[in-house]
Structure 1
Amino acid sequence: METQLTMWAWQALYLFEALVLSTSIGMERQAKHKDAGTRTHALVGVGAALFVIIGEYGFMNVLSTNVKIDPSRIAAQIVSGISFIGAGIVFTQRSHVHGLTTAASIWMTAAIGTACGAGMFVPALVCTILYFIAVRLLPFLVRLVVPDFSSDDILRLQYRDGQGILRSILSVCTNHDISVEGFSTRKSDDMDNEPSQRGHIVSANLEIRGRDSKALISDLSSIDGVISVTRINNID
């Protein structure tokens, strides 16, 4: 009985580690306002860990000298099964693929959960750290070392309505060899604006592809009628 309690304690620890590590990845995705956030990643990580534990310990009562199991088969099924969730996140809009990074993060979360279920604490922790290096530190280093590296961004602009400013914005993007993959606009009802400007300010999100250049934002900001320009990196 004592041996069984010890085994249950270790299994609970495996599941708890999977919850902590997968939740940290989900929080990063949710901070970027992705559909697959904290709950999705936590469930994927803990579920993968539980599948591995079931594969290793779930059939001990039927084992005998003539019955053998292969726990690695469970891991193989996790790899193929998680693809269904990842495929549901990826979509194409205006010839641009969205959701690849989030789908990859779910796939990686399943791998981390599998490692936790197998009791591989250190590889699971290292893999989580490497994830944050890849999605947080690496883009910054790339932009620092290669400032003109081609990238996908969203530009969020505010400008005054009824002055043909959008045409000027698109013209400036063209001059900087920037491809505008799509854009959306809406009338801003921001209460921070003066009462006379409310309803006359447009907020626009421009999905752009091209070389990262601070000069583009500078030129857009200098357009008469443009109130603000903000860049949101890594739209995926």
Structure 2
Amino acid sequence: MVLGSNAPWWAILLCLLAAVVLPTLIGLERQINNKSAGMRTHALVGLGAALFMVVSKYGFSDVLEANLVRLDPSRVAAQIVTGIGFIGAGLVFVRRNKVRGLTTASSIWLTAAVGSAAGAGLLLPAAFTTGAYFLVVVVYAKVIARLRVSGRRYHALQVTYVDGTGALREILQSCTNLGFQIQGFTTRPMEHLGSGVLGRALNEESVPNGPDLVEVELEIEGLAPRGTLLQELSALPAIKAISFDDENE
């Protein structure tokens, strides 16, 4: 589907709808993996890029005059490519010499391309690129994990535990027993058990005098599966919550 110079309004709205749906699918995968840019970010980036393309193609028809004013829609598309770099750069950071956020930044960059294609009426290429995205992030990850191409794998995880129970020592021991090398860790006190998101996640009512909680953020590296580590830590009685923040997942 390629829109002509006098495309009907319904065809333009169809392109904008595709620019919302396809990027939302990309954002859903990021949201499930608990990344910093999820469904809303990807949907807005895709829709914004599509609208820029629509304006570039059809927004100046009232000022066009034969042999006087000429229109180059590719100029706006080039500015989308440049501008989206600011969002992508904000998602990339370095922690202990490990570059994080590259996959999410790349997904934002690709989402802008999908939105631009949808806005230009190239719905089939936009849909194909969306499908190729899932092939890369889902299938490739499984192949790499099976072949262990990346060797030792880096994990960043947050564990919330009850203070004063010796849980931190048990957490560190569980990681080392599974062959993980601890690159570093930081701890910080949290609210009582019944307050905030953690309390709702544990289906607990507000408990003003509940146990003090501490969150430790660990950076580890090793060959053992992440699921094995999750199972080992979940068996500890003082553990209240566990979450991973892995860029390679």
Name the CA distance, whole Å, in 2 between partners of 1:228 and 1:148: 31
Name the CA distance, whole Å, in 2 between partners of 1:134 and 1:16: 24
Structure 1: segments with no counterpart, 5+ residues: none
Structure 1, 70-79 or 128-137: larger mean CA deviation: 128-137
The offset of 1:164, in angstroms, is 4.9
The offset of 1:79, in angstroms, is 0.4
User: Could you report, residue by residue, the CA deviation over 1:99-145 in whole angstroms, capped at 9, with x for unpaired residues?
Assistant: 22221111111000011112111111111112122223321222123
Name the counterpart of 1:178: 181
Structure-2 change in CA distance of 1:221 and 1:80 (3 Å): closer
Name the CA distance, whole Å, in 1 between partners of 2:82 and 2:134: 24
Name the counterpart of 1:106: 108
Name the CA distance, whole Å, in 1 between partners of 2:119 and 2:98: 36
Name the counterpart of 2:211: 199
Name the CA distance, whole Å, in 1 between partners of 2:47 and 2:150: 41
Name the CA distance, whole Å, in 2 between partners of 1:61 and 1:96: 52
Match of 1:79 among 76, 81, 86: 81
Structure 1, 56-65 or 144-153: larger mean CA deviation: 144-153
Name the CA distance, whole Å, in 2 between partners of 1:41 and 1:130: 16
Cα RMSD over matched residues?
3.7
> What secondary structure, in the 3-state scheme, does the structure 1 residue paired with 2:68 have?
coil
Name the counterpart of 1:15: 16
Structure 2: segments with no counterpart, 5+ residues: 194-198, 205-209
TM score, norm. by length of structure 1:
0.76
Name the CA distance, whole Å, in 1 between partners of 2:218 and 2:229: 12
> What secondary structure, in the 3-state scheme, does the structure 2 residue paired with 1:55 have?
helix
Is the CA contact 1:148–1:211 (under 8 Å) kept in the aligned structure 2? no
Is the CA contact 1:155–1:229 (under 8 Å) kept in the aligned structure 2? no
The offset of 1:148, in angstroms, is 7.4
TM score, norm. by length of structure 2:
0.73
Is the CA contact 1:48–1:78 (under 8 Å) kept in the aligned structure 2? yes
Identity percentage of aligned residues: 41
Structure-2 change in CA distance of 1:145 and 1:166 (3 Å): same
Aligned length: 231
> What secondary structure, in the 3-state scheme, does the structure 2 residue paired with 1:34 have?
coil
User: 1:53 aligned to 2:54?
Assistant: yes
Is the CA contact 1:27–1:38 (under 8 Å) kept in the aligned structure 2? yes
Match of 1:234 among 213, 222, 246: 246
> What secondary structure, in the 3-state scheme, does the structure 2 residue paired with 1:127 have?
helix
> What secondary structure, in the 3-state scheme, does the structure 1 residue paired with 2:8 have?
helix
Name the CA distance, whole Å, in 1 between partners of 2:103 and 2:151: 18
Alignment of 1:189-228 (within 5 A): 189=193, 199=211, 204-213=216-225, 217=229
Name the CA distance, whole Å, in 1 between partners of 2:81 and 2:39: 20
Structure-2 change in CA distance of 1:135 and 1:222 (3 Å): closer
